[in-house]
Amino acid sequence: MTLKRYHYILIIGSLIILLSIINHIAVLHREAVSKEQQTQVIKKNAQKKAVPVKEVKYSFREIYEVKTKKKMVALTFDDGPDNRYTPQILDILKANQVKATFFLVGRQIDKDPNVVRRIHSEGHEIGNHTVNHPNLNKMEVPEISAEIENNNAKIKELTGYTPVLFRSPYGNASEQVKDVLTQHHLMLVNWSVDTRDWKMTSPSMIIDNLKSEVRPGSIVLQHSFGGKKVHNTIQALPEEIKWLKEQGYTMVTVSELIEQEDK
């Protein structure tokens, strides 16, 4: 082999190696870009699925309303979900860009889990209203704890969110019940405005009850299931929202209302 031919082969070999290196670098770059694009897509999808409900932690406390000078109120709905009335309430709230708090019952959650997912995905707050809606004052501590823990577990399984707010069935909460709630770091949420929609009240009476009792910091009791005349709540709700807005009120979740408490 002549020296000239040897140099020629060496140059060709070097070029082949160089081209191989360049190609390998290009492949690595494409893979890196692809991974970055995938990461961005995942982030965007996560943002789309994100729920604007801020998770908070509370120590035990019992509230009926929140002391605030701001014209804010919290609409709350008990005893759901169901697949008839609760979706109609959600439609009305969505159309009016209003957020509310739903105190859900476990046995209803089992029947309509997709409604629970919708409540959460649309930015509403979910509170615990026990599994079976019993009178907790007539139960022993282990039974009370089971009602609370099992319902929180059902809600968390569907939403990833563990409720920190609790409403006792019938508004009954003895000192024993409050002790159990303290152990579970739950806030007991009652109400200051009872629309009496559970009492076979007409839509106009529901609205009048709200108008006569509401004030800044009010927590309003209504139902999304359980009563014989829940359809009256559906009929009254748009007018309630309209009137509250006309009076300068903003409707928020219970936790959002608590954040506005006067210090």
**In this structure, is residue 57 part of a structural domain?**
no
pLDDT digits (tens, 9 = 90+) for 179-231: 999 999 999 999 999 999 988 789 999 999 999 999 999 999 999 998 778 99
- Say yes or no: 17 and 81 in one domain: no
Among the listed residues 120, 129, 133, 223, the single catalytic one is: 223
Give per-residue pLDDT as tens, 120-177: 999 999 999 999 999 999 999 999 999 999 999 999 999 999 999 999 999 999 999 9
Residue 167: CB atoms within 10 Å? 26
Does residue 101 sit in helix, strand or coil?
A: strand
30: left (phi > 0), else alpha (psi -120 to 50), else beta?
alpha
Please tell me whether residues 39 and 132 are part of one structural domain. no
Note whether 1 and 96 are same-domain residues: no
Same domain, 17 and 109: no
Judge if 140 and 225 occupy the same domain: yes
Residue 165 and residue 107 share a domain: yes
Predicted TM-score (pTM) of this structure: 0.79
222 occurs within a structural domain: yes
DSSP-based three-state secondary structure for 49: helix
7 is annotated as an active-site residue = no
Least trusted range by pLDDT, from 58-62, 85-89, 172-176, 218-222: 58-62
Same domain, 37 and 68: no
Question: Crossing angle, helix 203-213 and helix 230-246, to 10 degrees?
Answer: 40
Are residues 46 and 169 both part of a single domain? no
- Cβ contacts of 81 within 8 Å, gap of 6 or more: 102, 104, 108, 109, 111, 112, 115, 116, 119, 224, 225
Domain assignment present for 158: yes
Average pLDDT of span 56-81: 93
Catalytic residue check, 82:
no
Residue 103 forms part of a structural domain: yes
Q: Is 30 part of a structural domain of the chain?
A: yes
Please calculate the CA angle 161-192-209 and round it to the nearest 5 degrees. 115
Q: Is residue 136 in some structural domain?
A: yes
How many structural domains compose the chain? Answer: 2
Catalytic residue among 24, 78, 129, 208: 78
What is the rounded average pLDDT for all residues in the chain? 87
If asked whether residues 115 and 215 sit together in one domain, one would say yes
Residue 56 falls inside a structural domain: no
24 lies in which domain range? 1-50
Do residue 162 and residue 247 come from a single domain? yes
pLDDT attached to residue 10? 60
Assess whether 26 and 99 both reside in one domain.
no
Domain CATH code at residue 215: 3.20.20.370
Same domain, yes or no: 128 and 5? no
Final residue belonging to a domain, choices 11, 29, 50 = 50
